[in-house]
Every structure is written in C-alpha cells, then in structure tokens.
Amino acid sequence: MLTGKKILLGITGSIAAYKIPLLVRLLKKDGADVRVVMTPSAKDFVTPLTLSTLSGNPVLSHGFDPETGKWESHVELGLWADLFVVAPASANTMAKMAYGMADNYLLTVCLSAKCPIMFAPAMDLDMYKHQATQQNIKTLIERGCIFVAPSSGELASGLCGEGRMEEPQKIYERIKDFFQTKRRFTGKKVLITAGPTYEAIDPVRFIGNHSSGLMGIEIARAFARQGAEVTLVLGPSNISPNMKDIRLMPVTSAKEMYDAVMTFFPKTDIAVMSAAVADFRPEMVADQKIKKNPDNDTMTLKLVKTEDILRSVGAMKNEKQTVVGFALETENGLTNAKKKLHTKNIDLIVLNEMNESGVGFKSKTNKISIITKDDKVIEFELKAKSEVALDVLNAIYQYINHE
Ligand code: CTP
C-alpha cells in the first residue's frame, strides 16, 4: 500500500522516541521509502545508528555532514517527501513550529516542506494541558497540519493522563489513511452546518446552546483535506476552521443558517448537518432591552418553532445527493436516531449520546454510532473529534460507493 511513498520522519526529544524504530519498520515493511531527521536532543532517547539501519538511509540532524563534507539541503528534503511525520512532537518543537522558528535542522525542514505535515505530540499531562501548548496545537491544526491526538495512560513521569504519544501501529494506520484517502472527494461539493444558533430575545439577550462547533469543523477540515470543495455554514463559535480550502459562511440565527443552506444545497453533492440548531425562537424580538417589571416576579416568553433545516434538505434532495444528519440524545438514543433518519428522509445519521463520558458540546472527544438508511448500526470507540470526523467520512464514502 505504501510502495513508493516517500515518508520523512522527524524525531524530537521525548522519551516516546524509543518507539519510533517500530514505526520505521512498519513503514519499510509496507514498501515506503523512509528518511529520518532528528533534533539534537532526540539522540538522547534513540540512536541514529538504529534508525539508519532500519530505514536504510543516513539519519540527518545537521545540514552539513562533517564526515563526508556533504551539504544536505533542507529544501530538497522538504520537496522530496510526500508526507512529513513529526513523532514524537515535543512541546518545545510544536511551539517552534507554530511560531516558524528554525534553530535546528528538523525545524528548517518543517519550514520549507511543501508536503503535508502530520504531528503526534508526546509530553507530560500538565505540559500537554497548558494553554500555550493547546494554543500551539490549535495553530498547527488550523494551518492544515494533521494532528494525531495523544492517548491517555501512564506517562514516563509516573503520572497518569493525556499526553502519551499514540502507539506506532496507530500512527502507521493514520499514515496509511492519509495516502488512501488523500483526494477521494475531489470534485465533490460538500455543505456542512456546525455550531450553535443564537435566537435573539432583545438587542442584548438570546437563546442558545453550548455547542462549540468543533465536530462539524473537524468534518469540514477532513473533507477539504480529502479534496472536496467545502462550504461551512457556521453558527457563533470561537473556533475558526482557518483552512483556505473551506468557504466559511458565518451565521447567527436558525433563519440565517436555513437561508444559507437553501442557497448552497441545490449545488451540493453531500450535506452534513451537524449544527445544534435551536428548535425554538422568541415569537417577538424586542427592539429595546427588556426591563424588569417591579410588579412581576415572572416573565413569559412565547417561543415559535424554527425551520428544521435537515428536514427541509431531506425533502428537497434528489437521488444523487447524500444527506447526513446528527442526533443528539440523552435517552433512547438508537430509537430516536432511527426515527429522525426516516422521518427526515436522510441517508445517514450520526448518533451522539450525551450521557456517555467524554461526549458532549465542550468535549474534544466524542463517541458516535452511525446508522444507515437500512438500519445498519456501526458503533465507534471514544476518540478525538478529528478522528471521529475521519470515521464519518469513511462511512459516507462507503455509503456512496456501495461498499
Ligand atoms: N436540525 C436542523 N434544524 C433544526 C433542528 C435540528 O437542521 N431546526 C438538525 C441538526 O443539525 C441535526 C438533526 O437535525 O442534524 C437532529 O437534531 P436534534 O437536535 O438531535 O433533533 P431535533 O430534530 O431538533 O429533535 P429533538 O430536539 O426533538 O430531539
């Protein structure tokens, strides 16, 4: 599967570096051409000799090799690779990548690489949780780098938590996934809704929900990476997809989201409606801020139904269009999701059950089941939302191609 693929591995200073020889073996066994660059501190954790023996290529950590007197151009290496995988990616290297620093050979390659960059962080849980690290990861993802989320477990420090580099086998699978799925939605027009909607009560208040928009944004990013032409209709969210291949349509209310979807849907091949659309809006929006009435301890707001966007596209869709909905349930998940799938006339539904841990609007992870039109249920484990997005795309791809 990886025959002829040129993979550049970047190893940084983290104890998890001792696992990388295994990754090199997996890639080589699969036919990939592997070259390795290391930061100086990575050599404290794994030897260049092991890596050059396994990869069959000299390992580089300087542009200039004093023994051969040869100059290795970082630009050439960046152009050579089909994929650059930085694993383990230390907090320090990620920070430097985010800021475009180039004070070692690996970083110069990062800056000149024309190929996509995948990174698999490894560090202690407090370093991983730190706002600065999280911000750097966000910057890299927004720039289009592929994030292999660390898992939770025992760490070298003896602590237990998030920050453990994903296992070599899993990184290898992500690499295979990358090559397999690279351009498989090329030419497809994809419409995605994400985030909450805000329904105005008066000029300063609204009815909303806690949706962050992250799940839909990850789906949009995954489609864009796999070659689709993506339009993302995004309710108020403080996350931005920041990918030049995604056309972003920011909206606030359910009505605005509905109007945007109606504009784009006729030319859409695949619609994924992941937004947490408000089901009701105030019947009247006050022109001025509503004042407290000193004689009244209660206040009644009359609400009216918003447009059901998913139901509308389900009713409009033709045979060539695929429509995917989401179902957010707190009880009887499967029954309710199946009901939504059929009554809204859609092709697939992604079920989120809010009562499971690690699932929810504010979480970075999600656990889903996907139900197809013929009531087939596919269950998935708890994963980072970026990986859940890949599962959703796989299910859509298989559905469209009758696999
Ligand atoms: N949806 C929509 N427009 C609405 C409400 C929901 O497009 N006004 C879409 C959501 O984007 C999601 C699906 O419908 O894809 C299901 O949303 P959910 O909130 O789970 O269900 P509802 O249909 O609103 O039903 P209920 O609130 O009764 O569970």
Per-residue confidence (pLDDT) for residue 153, from 0 to 100? 81
Confidence bin at 161 (pLDDT 50/70/90): confident
Segment 300-318 mean pLDDT: 97
Token pair of 97 as six digits: 């990548």
Token pair of 247 as six digits: 């056309």
In 3D space, the residue among 50, 23, 45, 44 whose CA is nearest the CA of residue 34 turns out to be: 23
Per-residue confidence (pLDDT) for residue 326, from 0 to 100? 97
For ligand 1, atom 14, which residue shows the shortest CA distance? Answer: 310
Per-residue confidence (pLDDT) for residue 393, from 0 to 100? 96
DSSP class of 40: G
Q: Across the chain, what does the average pLDDT equal?
A: 93
Q: Cβ of 25: how many Cβ atoms within 10 Å?
A: 15
Percent of the chain with pLDDT over 90: 76
Do 189 and 271 contact (CB within 8 A), yes or no?
Answer: no
Atom of ligand 1 lying closest to residue 326 CA:
15
Confidence bin at 66 (pLDDT 50/70/90): low
Atom of ligand 1 lying closest to residue 313 CA:
7
Segment 317-341 mean pLDDT: 95
DSSP class of 246: E
DSSP H/E element including 201: strand 199-202
**Pocket flag, ligand 1, residue 272 (CB < 6 Å):** no
pLDDT digits (tens, 9 = 90+) for 28-41: 999 999 999 999 99
Strand duo 160-164 + 64-65: pairing: unpaired
Confidence bin at 141 (pLDDT 50/70/90): confident
Is the pLDDT confidence value at 356 over 90? no
Cα(327) to ligand 1 centroid in Å equals 7
Is the pLDDT confidence value at 65 over 70? no
**Pocket flag, ligand 1, residue 309 (CB < 6 Å):** yes
Do 202 and 373 contact (CB within 8 A), yes or no?
Answer: no
Per-residue confidence (pLDDT) for residue 353, from 0 to 100? 87
Is the pLDDT confidence value at 84 over 90? yes
Per-residue confidence (pLDDT) for residue 79, from 0 to 100? 87
Token pair of 81 as six digits: 């690779």
pLDDT digits (tens, 9 = 90+) for 97-111: 999 999 999 999 999
Q: CA 270, CA 214: separation in Å to the nearest integer?
A: 19
In 3D space, the residue among 42, 61, 178 whose CA is nearest the CA of residue 108 turns out to be: 61
Cα(360) to ligand 1 centroid in Å equals 15
Cα(311) to ligand 1 centroid in Å equals 9
The catalytic position among 57, 209, 336, 345 is: 209
Token pair of 356 as six digits: 């499971």
For the chain, which domains are there? 6-181 (3.40.50.1950), 189-400 (3.40.50.10300)
Atom of ligand 1 lying closest to residue 254 CA:
8
Cα(387) to ligand 1 centroid in Å equals 23
Query: What residues form DSSP beta bridges with 200?
Result: 206
Confidence bin at 68 (pLDDT 50/70/90): low
pTM over 0.85: no
Per the annotation, the verdict on 209 as an active-site residue is yes
Atom of ligand 1 lying closest to residue 312 CA:
7
Per-residue confidence (pLDDT) for residue 182, from 0 to 100? 76
Per-residue confidence (pLDDT) for residue 114, from 0 to 100? 86
Q: CA 335, CA 351: separation in Å to the nearest integer?
A: 10
H-only helix segments in 243-384:
254-264, 309-316, 333-343
Evaluated on CA atoms 373, 354, 129, 163, the torsion sign reads negative
Per-residue confidence (pLDDT) for residue 88, from 0 to 100? 98
Q: Cβ of 355: how many Cβ atoms within 10 Å?
A: 10
**Pocket flag, ligand 1, residue 275 (CB < 6 Å):** yes
For ligand 1, atom 18, which residue shows the shortest CA distance? Answer: 327
Cα(378) to ligand 1 centroid in Å equals 21
Peptide bond into 88 cis (omega under 30): yes
Q: CA 311, CA 307: separation in Å to the nearest integer?
A: 9
What SS3 state is found at 22? helix
Three-state secondary structure string covering 268-283: CCEEEECCECCCEEEC
**Pocket flag, ligand 1, residue 306 (CB < 6 Å):** yes
Per-residue confidence (pLDDT) for residue 64, from 0 to 100? 67
Atom of ligand 1 lying closest to residue 350 CA:
15
The owner of tokens 């403080």 is 238
The owner of tokens 């998940």 is 333
More reliable by pLDDT, 367 or 63:
367
Cα(276) to ligand 1 centroid in Å equals 7
